[in-house]
Each structure stands twice: as structure tokens, then as C-alpha cells.
Amino acid sequence: MVEQVRADRGATPTVKAALRWAERWAPGEARARSVWARGRVLAVLAVLTAGLLAFHRAVPNSVGSLGSLLEAFLPWLGLVVVVLFGLALLRRSAVAPAALLLPVAAWTYLFGGLLLPVAEPGAYDLLVVQHNVSDENTDPAGTARALADAEPDLIALEELVRPALAVYEETLAPDYPYHTVHGTVGLWSKHPLTGTRLLDIKPQGIAEAWSRGLRTVVHTPRGEIAAYVAHLPSVRVRASGLASSWRDESAGLLGKAVAAEELRTVILLGDLNSTVDDRALASLTSRMNVAERGFAFSFPAAFPLARIDQVMARSATVGHIRTLPATGSDHLPVAARITLG
């Protein structure tokens, strides 16, 4: 201490300031402060990710349908959290992992329930399969057999074209004696079907012949069910954003049809070219239940990024949804368990 005082007395003001700084920032304390100082950019990114998850509805659709584009891939923001956590470990940051608790909480609230195990695997009334079989499918017979192997009660198909339609009818006939087709969509059933009619969900901007929806009544042991099969228009991701006006218009028409349905129980199966998080399907998701368990990403089949093949229900529960093995289509089939009542 005496030597320190003597050194201070003989030192210049600059040296004295340096000595006081060194005394204040001892090596251990400096390291501790550095841990909290590092990773601030990562912390900001974590907060932004949490904001996108929690307030994705606030992202506007007025420019390039950016809100719908975000919602189409919303679950994948969980990978952003994983990457940020890895970077935080490399930076040896303390503030970044703390900030990452926000997006983790938001993601868990939105999607954590989908990862929970099915409470009662055998407790359901109907098993249904939804599949866009692709108009370029070179193996319709193999596709039909693969779907029938799952032993569902209902099979909904889209992009049915001739002569493949005849192959589906012949292959599925032994196990599914009841079926109906309108345009390019169809439904095969183990239970009788009545009251089938065309479902008009054609956007006004489409001039050519276009029939992608049907409504029928399925007579199950538990009562009558209105079954809807629909194939909404495709969307395109461009430099300007998401081109989805026809899809959005068709979804609105489908939502109005479901709202006007007189039967209490409704099951909707179809390629909706939207995820259930996409606001474009709000007219449906506000009225119908979606899957409680499972992600079942169905498109594209080679590397599934989103589930655009949907099963929804009114006055019934979609307990679990999963994908089936790949067929000759660019979509994966999805199978869902339905509990009535």
C-alpha cells in the first residue's frame, strides 16, 4: 500500500488515471462484465424473433402478403432460436441466452402442444386420409394401395385426372364401395354417401372451366356428417412477396359455405395451399377445429416445409395428424383421427 501511494505521488495525471482504472477493473470483474456485455446483437435478434412469433398477425399483408408468407413458415422460427442459442454459446454471452427465453416461451405457447403424446391412441371414431395425388403421378394404382393400407374410413383426393381417375376407382373399389367425384376432387368412403353436390369456390378471375370442390353427406354409425373436399388455388412466392389473391378469395368462399352448412358436424379435407396459422384461412379456422397433435408437414414431398394439406372439423375433434409414406405425388398424404361429438 505504501509503495502504491509513493507511486501515485510521483506519477503523472495520466498514469494515475490508468492505475485507478486498473484497480477498478480487476481481471475477474472485467471478465464478468464482458460476459454480460457480449451478445447484445444476439439478444436484440432474440427479442425480434419473439415479437414475430407473438405478434405475427401485426405483420401487414398489404405489401406482398408478407404476413401470410411469415405465417406459412412460422414454426420454423424455432430453428432461428436454436441458431441464436448456438451463437450465444460461442460468444460466451450471458445476456443472449436470457433474452432467448422470450422466443422459447412464445414458440412453446404456439406449437408446444403439437409435440405432446396422444393421450388415448385408440380413442377416435373415424380415421381420414387427405392427399393431393398430383396430376403428374405415374403410379396411381400404387398410390391408391398405399392410402388404402392405412385403413381409413374416408379418403379425399385432389388433382384427379383421366385416365388416372379410372385406376383410383378400380383399385379402391373393393374396400371403399362408396365414392363421389366432382371435377378434379373426390371422396372414397366405407360408409354410404348421399346429397353430393358441387361446391362453388371458383375465384372470379379464373375464366376457364374449374371445379375443385364438393360437399356430400356421410352416413356413419354415429350419425350424418357433412364432408367437404376442396382444392384451393396455388400460391407463388416471388421477389415482390406472396401472390395469393385467388387462394384467399377461394378460401373466403369455402368459409361461407361451411358457415351455411345445416348439418351440425362437418369434416373438411383438402389441399388448401395454406397452413392453419395463415390468416388467409381465418374464415375456416375461426369456425373449425384443427389438429391438436402433430405437425405433419406435407409439402413438398422431397423436403416437407409446411402442412398445406388440411383436415378440419366442426362439432368434432381432430385429435392427431401425421404423414403417410411418400407416393408418386409431390405431396405427402396426411392421416387424421376424428372424434365425433
Res. 5: pLDDT tops 50: no
Claim to verify: residue 274 and residue 230 sit in the same structural domain: yes
Q: How much is the pLDDT for 242?
A: 86
Q: Which amino acid is at 291?
A: A
Claim to verify: residue 300 and residue 255 sit in the same structural domain: yes
Question: Greater confidence, 233 or 63?
Answer: 233
Grid look-up 422470450 returns: 102
Q: How much is the pLDDT for 27?
A: 52
Claim to verify: residue 18 and residue 106 sit in the same structural domain: yes
**Distance of alpha carbon 265 from alpha carbon 10, whole angstroms:** 92
For helices 95-111 and 40-54, what crossing angle results, to 10°?
20
**Distance of alpha carbon 42 from alpha carbon 100, whole angstroms:** 9
| pLDDT tens digits along 175-203 | 999 999 999 999 999 999 999 999 999 99
Res. 142: pLDDT tops 90: yes
* Averaged pLDDT, 117-145: 91
In the listed set 91, 114, 137, which residue is the last one of a domain according to the structure? 114
Report CA torsion sign: 114, 115, 119, 120.
positive
Three-class SS of residue 210? coil
Three-class SS of residue 71? helix
Claim to verify: residue 254 and residue 235 sit in the same structural domain: yes
| 6 pLDDT tier (thresholds 50, 70, 90) | very low
Query: How many domains in the chain?
Result: 2
Q: How much is the pLDDT for 63?
A: 84
* DSSP code, position 197: E
The CA angle 183-332-228, to the nearest 5 degrees, is 40
Claim to verify: residue 160 and residue 209 sit in the same structural domain: yes
Question: Greater confidence, 142 or 120?
Answer: 142
Q: How much is the pLDDT for 249?
A: 97
In the listed set 114, 148, 165, which residue is the last one of a domain according to the structure? 114
| pLDDT tens digits along 90-108 | 988 889 999 999 999 999 9
**Distance of alpha carbon 120 from alpha carbon 117, whole angstroms:** 9
Q: Which residues contact 153 (CB under 8 A, 6 or more apart)?
A: 126, 127, 128, 189, 190, 191, 220
| pLDDT tens digits along 245-270 | 999 999 999 999 999 999 999 999 99
Q: Which residues contact 152 (CB under 8 A, 6 or more apart)?
A: 126, 127, 128, 129, 335
Claim to verify: residue 41 and residue 97 sit in the same structural domain: yes
| pLDDT tens digits along 26-62 | 455 545 556 556 789 999 999 999 999 999 999 999 8
| 21 pLDDT tier (thresholds 50, 70, 90) | very low
Question: Looking at the DSSP assignment, which residues form a beta bridge with residue 316?
Answer: 340
Claim to verify: residue 247 and residue 308 sit in the same structural domain: yes
Question: Looking at the DSSP assignment, which residues form a beta bridge with residue 157?
Answer: 131, 186
How many helices (H) and strands (E) would you count in the chain?
A: 11, 13
Claim to verify: residue 22 and residue 106 sit in the same structural domain: yes
Claim to verify: residue 57 and residue 174 sit in the same structural domain: no
| pLDDT tens digits along 289-333 | 999 999 999 999 999 999 999 999 999 999 999 999 999 999 999
Establish whether the linkage from the previous residue to 333 is cis, with ω within 30° of 0.
no
Claim to verify: residue 64 and residue 140 sit in the same structural domain: no
Contact 213, 199 (CB under 8 A): yes
Claim to verify: residue 313 and residue 271 sit in the same structural domain: yes
Q: b or e along 185-214 (b: 16 or more beta carbons within 10 Å of the residue's beta carbon)?
A: bbbbbbbebeebeebebbbeeeeeebbbbb
Q: How much is the pLDDT for 2?
A: 45
Longest dimension (CA), the chain: 104
Q: How much is the pLDDT for 18?
A: 52
Domain that holds residue 335: 123-340
Q: How much is the pLDDT for 202?
A: 97
* Averaged pLDDT, 2-18: 53
Cα–Cα distances in angstroms (integers) from residue 113 to residues 70, 152, 320, in the given order: 20, 25, 11
| pLDDT tens digits along 59-87 | 999 888 999 999 999 999 999 999 999 99
| 123 pLDDT tier (thresholds 50, 70, 90) | confident
CATH number where 306 lies: 3.60.10.10
In the listed set 86, 114, 142, which residue is the last one of a domain according to the structure? 114
Arithmetic mean of pLDDT over the chain: 91
Claim to verify: residue 243 and residue 161 sit in the same structural domain: yes
* Averaged pLDDT, 157-171: 97
